Structure 1
């Protein structure tokens, strides 16, 4: 009888844990980049890329807006900076102080908005990708 009670309690505990597991349901898709290749300024496929500094539109996320500014020179992204991102709580600051530099580096390496999401900073990553794509689109005008 005691064994049955322990098994029943363990089963109930597992079921409660499974139902309390939170999954992300806000999966805002990131629009694809215009081209699969890095932006180039030479004569080729698509519009020429202007040199200069371009600020993407702010992307609203669950925890606040994210906005990215890029610098383009010679047809390449030479600098990417998140100029606005969630910093309202200590948790926001802790998460984004690690995530934002990683996202900036990813943007420089990828030369597009098709960058990896930073684990633990999904909403910031998705907002960053959207704003980065907006800045890249401005450079192509």
Structure 2
């Protein structure tokens, strides 16, 4: 006996929708932040024109884990421009985070990062580490932010 074409079509559509919903519901885990050892985070030699901060990071860590200090992570070149993170720490607690550089050469990048960067900063303050989720729609910025964040944390604790 042959199955009805309409029934087969309905089942195929239902299966497709189910798989799509499940795929979109997955939260990706970023391994970028922990994959690179200290000092080997990718940093480009050419700055694509943002704020003129030199690439390679300018960490200002005194090696101490007490008191308030500020450290700056390496500049990480992404497909859309450089990303660099600056942390303020009190002891070993992250009290503030900000993106010193983020892609913004075009209006779309500025729009994406206006929403993504505050989310990444909030995630950083909540997690107190570089183990944070990427922001949907801002994958390149998120990965660059996480790499620079890890670099800053390495400088702060190293």
Q: What is the aligned partner in structure 2 of residue 107 from structure 1?
A: 124
Structure 2 unaligned spans of 5+:
1-29, 38-62
1:59 aligns with 2:61: no
Count of matched residue pairs: 102
User: Match of 2:137, SS?
Assistant: coil
Q: What is the aligned partner in structure 2 of residue 41 from structure 1?
A: none
Q: What is the aligned partner in structure 1 of residue 34 from structure 2?
A: 32
Contact 2:85/2:101 (<8 A) preserved? yes
Q: Please give the TM-score of this superposition, normalised by the length of structure 2.
A: 0.60
C-alpha separation in 2, matches of 1:29 and 1:110:
15
Distance 1:77 1:124, change over 3 A: same
CA-CA distance at 1:30 after TM superposition = 1.2
Q: Superposition pairs for residues 58-137 of structure 1, below 5 Å?
A: 58-137=75-154
Contact 2:32/2:146 (<8 A) preserved? yes
C-alpha separation in 2, matches of 1:49 and 1:134:
16
Could you say what the CA RMSD is over the residues aligned between the two structures, in angstroms? 2.1
User: Match of 2:32, SS?
Assistant: coil
